[in-house]
Amino acid sequence: MAETIEDIILDHDKRGMLALRPYLPPDYCSQAAQFIIDHPGGVIIVTGFYVVMAGKPETDGPPGAIAIGEALKGLGRTVTYVSDHYTTPVLRRYADGSEVIDFPIDGVAASKEQAKAILERVKPSLLISIERCGRTRDDTYLNMRYVDISPHTARLDYLFDSDIPSVGIGDGGNEIGMGNLAEVIPTVDSLPDYPAVNQVDRLVIASVSNWGGYGLVAAMSRISGKNLLPSVESETAMLHGMIEAGVVDGTTGDAVPTVDNFSAEENGALLARLHRLVEGGSPT
């Protein structure tokens, strides 16, 4: 059987994402891409995950967000990025003219008002989250080690409490969108007992969230007939540039050009497989 986009982005699974695959459509990534295409107009993309041991954001999320954003702009869409002050400087460095909104880290009432104000001003037709922590059932934001990172996490998931169509990408169970599988995630030993509760219209799971972002772009490429994927060289350069800008590996907390402890070479090899799939060749 030919390898699919979903096969590629779930390769090298270390956390148990493969255990969730039976609960999603076989072509869940392609379905999410079609959902995006079917909802034309402006798009808000949220990302950024705080790493406690470093006091900085992680390398997983922003590269995938930029890849999705550039692909959407290549299809004529307007893109707005939203994050908190830990990640917005990195996004501005690579947003290429797109607006980047700094969402304050604040209490519930103020955050709900901020979310409402952003949605009323931007008027997006679609929301996309990639590697962004979502609140649990007790209204806290937990990392994979069950550390409460609420004091360092803006409540961006309040944007997703609206009726605006939405897509979520995650790799651990604690991200916006994982509420779609909130009953299943605690049954997997390697996944959180207290997953995020935020739901989305289309959920994309991957071994690394950036890979889920690349997979989404690959699927949009196949639908549009135009290869919208970033080059391996540009992504590798971006990864190094983000380290220079103060981002760290989310698994180790180290300021090295790795993503969830996968090397730049491993990331590049997976992206190259997606390129080959989009271009009609063998991905392996």
Signed CA dihedral, 231, 96, 65, 5: sign only: negative
Q: What is the mean pLDDT of the chain?
A: 98
The CATH class of 5-277 is alpha beta
Give the model's pLDDT for residue 26. Answer: 98
Alpha carbon 273 to chain centroid, angstroms: 19
**Nearest by Cα to 213 from 59, 55, 52, 109:** 59
Structure confidence by residue, pLDDT tens digits, 124-147: 999 999 999 999 999 999 999 999
Structure confidence by residue, pLDDT tens digits, 47-79: 999 999 999 999 999 999 999 999 999 999 999
Confidence of residue 1 (pLDDT cuts 50, 70, 90): confident
Confidence of residue 282 (pLDDT cuts 50, 70, 90): low
Q: What is the DSSP string of 63-75?
A: HHHHHHHHHHHHT
Give the model's pLDDT for residue 185. Answer: 98
Residues across the chain = 284
- Domain boundaries along the sequence of the chain: 5-277
pLDDT at residue 284 tops 60: no
**Nearest by Cα to 61 from 148, 176, 226, 145:** 176
Alpha carbon 39 to chain centroid, angstroms: 19
